[in-house]
Amino acid sequence: MSQPGIRLVIGLGNPGPDYALTRHNAGFWLVDKLVEAYHGQLRAEAKFHGLMARVSVGGHDLRLLKPTTYMNHSGRSVAAVARYFDIAVEQILIAYDELDLPPGRAKLKHGGGHAGHNGMRDSIAALGSRDFWRLRMGIGHPGDKTRVIGYVLGRPSQADAAAILDVADDAVRAMPDLVEGRFQLAMNRLHAVPSTP
């Protein structure tokens, strides 16, 4: 029996031009790629505290969300959309930046903790559950925990940005499997080690 597929993809990030190109906005980058690939249009939705688009993937409705609450309050937006559209927790995918993976690597996982990520911490609290899917998009680690805040709010090198966007492209290509509940196939694609030129 197949699992229920994804119906809501949320990319975590901070709103505004000052943050647009920072590592912490990797989740936003994925949503932008999905909007482009599936010819959607993001619209500001005050009641959802974010920018939303609705697209069709393989005949399935998929909603895309970029919370505009700032990272630490992402859950307000996530929970508002999930409740309004009656989307089950296991049909939600949250994409976000991951310090413990290098740029160009990703990890698709069901359930788990927040590992110190404030956007995830707030989303778990607001949903009242950890049982959603998450896509951890590697951004690398600065090597010292005292430098983390400046690092995630800084811009990646051109090579690192390209590697993060490659992961977003892989996730776009995996979306038909994700909406159909073929999570193992999506994992196979997303966990593949990128080939070096």
Active-site positions read 24
Q: Are 112 and 98 spatial neighbours (Cβ–Cβ below 8 Å)?
A: no
Please check if 72 is assigned to a binding site.
Answer: yes
Please check if 188 is assigned to a binding site.
Answer: no
d(CA 14, CA 52): 15
Whole-angstrom Cα Rg for the chain: 15
Q: Are 126 and 159 spatial neighbours (Cβ–Cβ below 8 Å)?
A: no
Q: Which two tokens stand for residue 167?
A: 């992961």
Please check if 151 is assigned to a binding site.
Answer: no
Residue 179, C-beta contacts closer than 8 angstroms, at least 6 positions apart: 5, 6, 7, 57, 58, 60, 62
Please check if 70 is assigned to a binding site.
Answer: yes
Known binding-site residue numbers for tRNA:
19, 70, 72, 118
